[in-house]
Amino acid sequence: MLSTEQLFIFKTAAEQGSFSAAARLLSKTPAAISISISNLEIQLGIDLFDRSTKYPRLTSAGERLYQQCTLLVRHIERIESAATSYAQQVEDKVTIGIDRLIPSCMIESGLQKLASDFPNTAIHIVRDTNANLQSRIELHELDLVLQCATAAEPKSLEFFDIALMEMCCVCAPDSDLADTAIVDNEALLTRRQICCESMIENPSLSLQGRLSPEIWVMTDQEDVLNMVEQGLGWAFVPKVLAKQRQEVGSLLIINPEFSCTEILCRIDLWCTPSKNQGRVVKQLVGQIKQIANF
């Protein structure tokens, strides 16, 4: 039966281009590398290397076997990594709830770090309204939640005020609202407003940002932005998202009369108590708490 060590030695020799280089990399003697590969060739009944030149070269059969060997070694490394995760009691899965208003850029860097540090942990991201996210984390269906602040206080959970998110009004570049330096309230009142459901259901944001009596409600923030781009109305959205689309010319940030100063939305983090957190959740919570205002 083939051993994983034989396959690893063969793979290393093929990649290094010489038995001596493979020996140095693996802290073995060139003779040990040569014997291991010769035994592998005998077991398989084929020549893996052409030794007629100064440096051994893979034969056509060796080339094909090298490709298979590379895949097998990757699988072995994944198995070893998974076993290490189980032994260290790393979570198999982490479920993160995010308010539909909150941009994904808030956790992207944290997720990149998790993917590197905990490759065997599956991440499930749930987008929902504040009320549903709060209910689900209290039922232990979610490990942590990022949401726009409300008056609700978490029960048996840890709670952190982590960032301030600036909101703004937007319209399509060809809208008549785009022609005015300061858009008066009457102009906004007489035009359709496109709203994200999470904004409507948040008492503070609804009070600050809902103005028009004619509204269309979308469950997804991306749909809100898309509708505004089509000229179907104006909207009150996170400024970080508005800037991205303004830079490519698909949206325009406008200055409404009702907003003389910055309108800021506080972002809260709810999570299970630290004593009950696994390694993955604990690391992600720590990274999210370091987020600067945006």
Task: Give dist(CA 140, CA 23) in Å, integer.
Answer: 52
Domain end call among 35, 65, 87: 87
The answer, yes or no, to whether residue 189 has pLDDT greater than 90, is yes
Domain end call among 65, 87, 109: 87
pLDDT band of 289, cuts 50, 70, 90? confident
CATH classification of the domain holding 261: 3.40.190.290
- Is the residue at 293 inside a domain? no
> Is the pTM higher than 0.85?
no
What's the pLDDT score for residue 246?
A: 95
Average pLDDT over residues 269-294: 80
Helices (H), the chain: 4-16, 19-26, 30-44, 60-87, 108-117, 130-138, 185-189, 197-201, 203-209, 221-229, 239-247, 279-288
Task: Give dist(CA 271, CA 97) in Å, integer.
Answer: 10
> Do 152 and 185 fall into the same domain?
no
Residue type, 4: T
> Do 252 and 282 fall into the same domain?
no
> Do 170 and 254 fall into the same domain?
yes
Q: What are phi and psi of 97, to 5 degrees?
A: -100, 130
Mean pLDDT across the chain, nearest whole number? 88
CATH classification of the domain holding 16: 1.10.10.10
Residue 254 vs residue 54, higher pLDDT: 254
Least confident of 76-90, 98-112, 214-228, 245-259: 76-90
What's the pLDDT score for residue 86?
A: 61
Task: Give dist(CA 10, CA 13) in Å, integer.
Answer: 5
Domain that holds residue 186: 164-265
What's the pLDDT score for residue 275?
A: 67
> Do 152 and 279 fall into the same domain?
yes
CA geometry: angle 55, 61, 64, nearest 5 deg: 100
Helix (H, G, I), strand (E, B), or coil: what is residue 157? coil
In tens, the pLDDT along 146-183 reads 999 877 777 778 888 888 999 999 999 999 899 888 99
In tens, the pLDDT along 48-97 reads 998 888 888 899 888 998 888 888 888 777 776 666 656 556 788 999 99
Share of the chain above pLDDT 70, in %: 94
- Is the residue at 294 inside a domain? no
pLDDT band of 27, cuts 50, 70, 90? very high
Average pLDDT over residues 218-224: 93
| CA R_g for the chain | 29
What's the pLDDT score for residue 102?
A: 92
Domain end call among 58, 87, 116: 87
The answer, yes or no, to whether residue 1 has pLDDT greater than 80, is no
What's the pLDDT score for residue 247?
A: 95
In tens, the pLDDT along 231-245 reads 999 999 999 999 999
What's the pLDDT score for residue 272?
A: 83
What's the pLDDT score for residue 82?
A: 64
Count the domains in the chain. Answer: 3
Average pLDDT over residues 192-197: 95
How many CB atoms are closer than 10 A to CB 207? 8
In tens, the pLDDT along 6-23 reads 888 988 989 898 898 989
